[in-house]
Structure 1
Amino acid sequence: MESTAFLILCIVVVMAAGFVQGLTSFGFALIAMPFLAKMIPFQEAVPIVVMLSLCTNLMVITGAWRHVDLKKIWILILSSLLAAPVGAYLLLLLDERLLKMFTGAFIVLIALLQLLGRTFPVKNEKLAFVPVGMISGLLNGSISMSGPPVALFLSNQRTGKDTFRANITAYAIILNIITIGTYAYGGMLTSSVLTGSLWLIPSMFVGVLLGIKAIKRLNDQWFRKLALWVIMGSGIWTIVSTL
């Protein structure tokens, strides 16, 4: 009975995370990880979430790939990959709780300012993607929060929902593949991880599908507001979980 309730709870969490991912093109790991990490061993939860994240991103990109801007994405990816090892080293130097608290507070502040109508448009987006990618890589290497910096920047630039979803999804797919490769090399893709992923894929699929259908009802303005609320929620959750 307990194992059945446990499985149902995991399915519900993954479906909800999938819905948010399908709707905004980010947020799956931010929602799924805190819950799954409390229900299954952390060493299994992390690779399961990354593998499911890859599946969600592949689903989203099938309908958005035409809007991917490779000229901007490659700069973002390269900057992130170069900064990720520094982020891992940063985690060794700084207290993880302090790092999460500061990051969460910063994300909430920027998201709140944008919700209140304060934006700081950057004219040279291609150049700006370098520091954005580096910040994303630093956070990915230290506390696995690569999505919010990119999402905040795209929102600040008032990027249309199609371009927003396409670019952040393409970026996430590359990071997912590289991360899964490192997990495979490190022997983290165990039979338990693969089995757990297979059990949760159907609920993830349903959630993402519902999110993709729901996004069609939102215009660019409402999409931007929704994305900012999700970003701010992730920052608040980061602070609360740390406390």
Structure 2
Amino acid sequence: MPEALNAALALDGLVWVLATTILAGVVYGFAGFGSALIFMPLATIWLEPAFAIAAFSLSAIVSLFTVVPRAWGVAEKSATFTLIGAAFLGAPFGIYLLRVLDVDWVRIAVATTVLVTLAALMAGWRYATRPGVATRIGVGAATGVLGGLTGLMGPIVILFNLGAGSRAEVMRANTMVFLTTISILVLPQMAFQGLLSLEALWLGVVMMPAYGIGTRIGQALFDPDREVMYRRVAYGIIGLAGVMGLPIWQ
């Protein structure tokens, strides 16, 4: 067995990290967002932020086979890939900040982003203007910077897509395709800046079945007629994760 895999399996809190992965997958499967909002604040209780980002990004490959096929036929591809391209270009700056900032500051940034996003969602905040290409590029770039630093690629894009004027089903599909794709594309950028370890990659491989099981369960639970209930459940879990991820508890 490779030494890096042994190290990943010997991590303190591995059981809790896998449980968090399943929970994040379930919420992502039925709500269409929220996986990183749940995983990152909780996983960084046991893992260094860069380690957690890398492992979770690799585990997101599972979504290519579980949630993306259904979303692909509904998503607005041109608009979504504009966001992906801009986020890809913005991510290196966020990764640089992840590399140079103190770990506790990164954990605070993760938890704060989660809680602010939750407050905006619950308050019904929306971007109210029909977006053009320039707006999508700006939103994508800002998402890349925030995601590179915190591993949270969703907050800005979720709020943006909610107010972009698309049907709920299309918004959900756009978000799923974006989050899955950009999570995978950030991995070579982390490797280029020296933040992608073999142990993190092996942990991502170990997490894949857990994440796949979670997303499948979430998809099986999804019923369009219960969308409001799903959002409320997701909000409650995200809020608890954000509070628990604050460094004051560690």
CA distance in 2, matches of 1:239, 1:201: 24
> How far has the Cα of 1:75 moved from its partner?
1.9
Match in the other structure for 2:150: 143
SS in 2 for 1:39: coil
TM-align CA RMSD: 3.7
Q: In 1, distance between residues paired with 2:11 and 2:195?
A: 28
Match of 1:219 among 200, 222, 225: 225
2:27 counterpart of 1:20: yes
- The CA distance in 2 between the partners of 1:121 and 1:73, in whole Å, is 18
Q: Is 1:85–2:108 an aligned residue pair?
A: no
Which residue in 1 is equivalent to 2:246? 241
Deviation at 1:61, TM superposition (A): 0.4
Question: CA offsets, 1:46-83, max 9 Å, x none?
Answer: 32111112323542101111012122112212322333
* Worse overlay, 36-45 or 68-77: 36-45
Q: Does 1:175 align with 2:182?
A: yes
Distance 1:151 1:44 in 2: 24
Residues 59-74 of structure 1 correspond to what in structure 2 (within 5 A)? Answer: 59-74=66-81
Report SS of the residue matched to 2:224. coil
Unpaired runs of 5+ residues, structure 2, are 1-9
Which ranges of structure 1 fall in alignment gaps of 5 or more residues? none
- Rate the CA distance shift 1:208–1:221 in 2: closer, same or farther, 3 A: closer
- Pick closer, same or farther for the CA change 1:50–1:97 going to 2, 3 Å: closer
Amino acid at match of 1:79: A
How many Å separate the matches in 2 of 1:48 and 1:41?
11
Checking the alignment, whether the CA contact within 8 Å between 2:148 and 2:186 is kept in structure 1 is: no
Aligned length: 235
TM-score (normalizing by structure 2) = 0.74
In structure 2, the residue corresponding to 1:133 is in which secondary structure? helix
1:142: how far off?
Answer: 2.5
Matched-pair identity in %: 21
Taking the aligned partners of 1:6 and 1:29, their CA distance within structure 2 comes to 18
User: How far, CA to CA, are the matches of 1:151 and 1:27 in structure 2?
Assistant: 9
